[in-house]
Structure 1
Amino acid sequence: MTALETVRLYYQCFNQRNWKGMLTLLDPEVRHEANQGDVRIGADKFTEFLQKMDESYEEHLTDMVLFSEPSGKRVAAEFVVNGVYKKGEPGMPEAHGQPYVLPAGAFLEVKEGRISRVTTYYNLPLWIDLVSKTK
């Protein structure tokens, strides 16, 4: 499977809320660089992140576009996050089921058929504005 196919399957699993499927595509020492916060290293830390995200957010990605560079090791993804804010997090607005639609992107690296890095970017001030305006 190519890096592009691996990343496509990873995001298909995300949209199906198939967390086990996502995790099988990760290198055991995956480097996860979220938009905000510390870098997480390892599949165990990524699993903890997924559990926290699943509690607080319900998200589905649309308008997915994937790009691969010539060596086939790195993939860029552009997408729209369609979400519901279910449970508040410290330092963030109160959650009460607010919907949001937010453009985002990610950069992934694939090594020996498994995703070894996931770096995700989105506009956090825009997200805060979106969930703060919805009552």
Structure 2
Amino acid sequence: MSIVQTYFDAFNAGDTQAMLDCLTDDVAHHVNEGNVRIGRGKFAEFCAHMDHCYKETLTEMVVFTSSDGTRGAAEYMVNGTYLNSDEGLPPASGQTYRLPAGSFFTLRDGKIARVTTYYNLSDWISQVS
């Protein structure tokens, strides 16, 4: 099983520590809207915030890995519930959403060194508004 699949299995299990175990200490986390976060500590803070505001499960997952093992990608559907209002976004009241998304990875020494995630924010806002 690829480290990318292990990472997403941990996400779906709600196991942040297992996700962190997939990352290099200096992981670069490129979020869809926002600044790049560097390091596992910053990634853990992001996960805690996300767990407070959202409950998400990823389905229809397709994972790709380059033949040399240095890059990975995944396409999937985010199935979520908006639990608590996130700053600058519409108020939360338990709205559900379904949103296509993708992630891209740099892999180094059997771990994930970069995570870049993309989704259509305006589609999400439309669904929860």
Shorter chain as normaliser: what TM range? over 0.9
The letter of the residue matching 2:80 is: G
- Of 40, 44, 48, 2:45 maps to 48
Pick one of 67, 82, 85 that aligns with 1:85.
Answer: 82
Identity score, percent: 48
**Unpaired segments of 5 or more residues in structure 1?**
none
Partner-residue secondary structure (3-state), 2:2 = helix
Residue 58 (1) aligns with residue 60 (2)? no
Write the mapping of 1:5-44 to structure 2, written as runs, cut at 5 A.
Answer: 5-44=2-41
Shift of 1:70: 2.1
The unaligned stretches of length 5 or more in structure 2 are: none
- The CA deviation at 1:91 is 1.1
Instruction: Indicate the SS of the match to 1:128.
Output: helix
Which stretches of structure 1, 4 residues or longer, exceed 2 Å deviation after superposition? Answer: none
Corresponding position of 1:95: 92
Q: How many aligned positions are there?
A: 129
Aligned mates of 1:29, 1:51 — CA distance in 2: 18
TM-score, normalization: structure 1?
A: 0.94
Report the Cα distance in structure 1 between the residues aligned to 2:53 and 2:81, rounded to whole angstroms: 8
Alpha-carbon RMSD = 0.8
TM-score, normalising length: structure 2 = 0.98
